[in-house]
Amino acid sequence: MERVQIFSLIVSLGLLFGVVELVRRRRLRESYSALWIFTSLSIIFFVVFPQLLDRLGRLVGVSYTPFVFFLLAFLFLTLITLQFSMFLSNLSECNKALTQEVALLKQRLEEVEKQAEKA
Amino acid sequence: MSDTLIIIPAHDEDGKVGELVGRIKSLGLDADVAVVDDGSKDGTARAARDAGATVLSLPFNIGYGGALQTGFRYALSKGYSYAVQLDADGQHEPAYIPKLIEPVKAGLADVAMGSRFLGAGEYTSTFMRGLGIKVFGRIASSIIGRKVTDPTTGFQAMDREVIRFYASDSYPVDFPDADVLIMLHRAGLKSVEVPVVMYPRAEGKSMHSGLKPLYYVFKMFLSILVTLLRKNTFRRGG
């Protein structure tokens, strides 16, 4: 096995175990670990079957195999940041709803307190 | 206030939830009913309230597990000793609630799970669902040491310890499922299965569609793995 393959294997195994450990410690939710686990498994897959990496390169029209690797890495980063953007959009929406709810509850509470004072 | 709370998470079920609450009330059970309105855009909250249930309205949709957990947190804060969970779409037959509570109140188990495959009724699921249920049922069975026929049941009765457990941060709010069975076992909480009748889903959205089954399988395996790796921090009576 070539040195770059060994290096990739070590990094991807480290990533895989690291991510599972983060999920175990509840620092990372299962849903967001999916893409990371899929990526580290893909790296391991291509290290074990480098011919398939060549095949993929020819399929997309790239003759320099290491470049295919970078292409995949770029694709992965794009997907991850896209997932983050979606997550943040959802979070913003929820945050807005909660903030508004708090304001409305505060007002109702003030009203109830005023009524209680009168009684 | 009764010592038992029936928790019904509901999202856009205004056509069914009123009828369900009405049916439960007509059974004359010694239990209060709380419907958790999970950010419904329709008249779910109104229908539930009119039928006589307490309604907990979430400001937006957080999903089945999160809505259910809201009910557990409510039950805990109000001091209920027992809780029953069932679905708002009419899949679960409320007449079986007493059968579910029985082993829990008798102290035979902390939580009783209603299984649709123990002969009480005829239930057939789609091939994929059936396969998933069998596979994860087998996995759960071998880990917790008792036969699990219905790992994905949302029809359960439980005591205060399990209410506390479900209300805690360790509760997986994606799909409460076979991994929950393993968590319960690790926490020292005893679970049993009780035969119940369930009806097939009529119409409306299913939680399991599209890419979700794939994610479900991944999430289950990962969740079971990390559950087995984690240290249990739940203490009875804590």
Could you tell me the CATH number of the domain that includes residue B102?
A: 3.90.550.10
User: Distances from the Cα of B159 to the Cαs of A24, A49, B3, B67, B117, in angstroms?
Assistant: 27, 53, 10, 19, 24
What local confidence, expressed as pLDDT, does residue B205 receive?
A: 47
Q: What is the ipTM of this complex?
A: 0.80
Chain-centroid distance of CA A13 in Å reads 17
Q: How far is A87 from chain B (nearest CA, A)?
A: 13
Q: What are the E-state strand segments in B82-136?
A: 82-85, 111-115
CA dist A113 to A6, A104, A108, A109, A116, Å?
A: 69, 14, 9, 6, 5
Please give the residue range of the domain that contains residue B191.
4-229
B71-120 per-position pLDDT tens digit: 999 999 999 999 999 999 989 999 999 999 999 999 999 999 999 888 87
B199 touches chain A (CB under 8 A): no
Render pLDDT for B193-234 as a digit per residue (tens, 0 to 9).
Answer: 999 999 887 654 455 567 777 888 888 899 999 999 998 888
**Domains in chain A: boundaries:** 3-118
Instruction: Print burial letters for B35-69: b (CB count within 10 Å at least 16), e (below 16).
Output: bbbbbbeebbbebbbebebebbbbbebbbbbbbbb
Partner A contacted by B207 (CB < 8 A): no
Q: What tokens does A13 get?
A: 């195994």
Pick from A24, A34, A97: CB nearest B59: A97
The whole-angstrom separation of Cα B186 and Cα B234 is 9
**Beta partners for residue B184, in sequence order:** none
In chain B, the number of structural domains is 1
**Which residues in chain A touch residue B216, judged by CB atoms under 8 angstroms apart?**
none
CB pairs under 8 A between A and B: 31
CB-nearest to B223 from A30, A100, A101 is A30
User: Does B237 map to a domain?
Assistant: no
Within a domain: B217: yes
Whether B101 contacts B84, CB under 8 Å: yes
Of residues B4, B225, B213, the one with CA closest to residue B100:
B4
Q: Is B146 on the interface with A (CB under 8 A)?
A: no
Q: Residue B191: enclosing H or E segment and its boundaries? A: strand B191-195
Mean pLDDT, rounded, for B40-51: 95
Crossing angle for the helix pair A3-24 and A30-48, to the nearest 10 degrees:
160
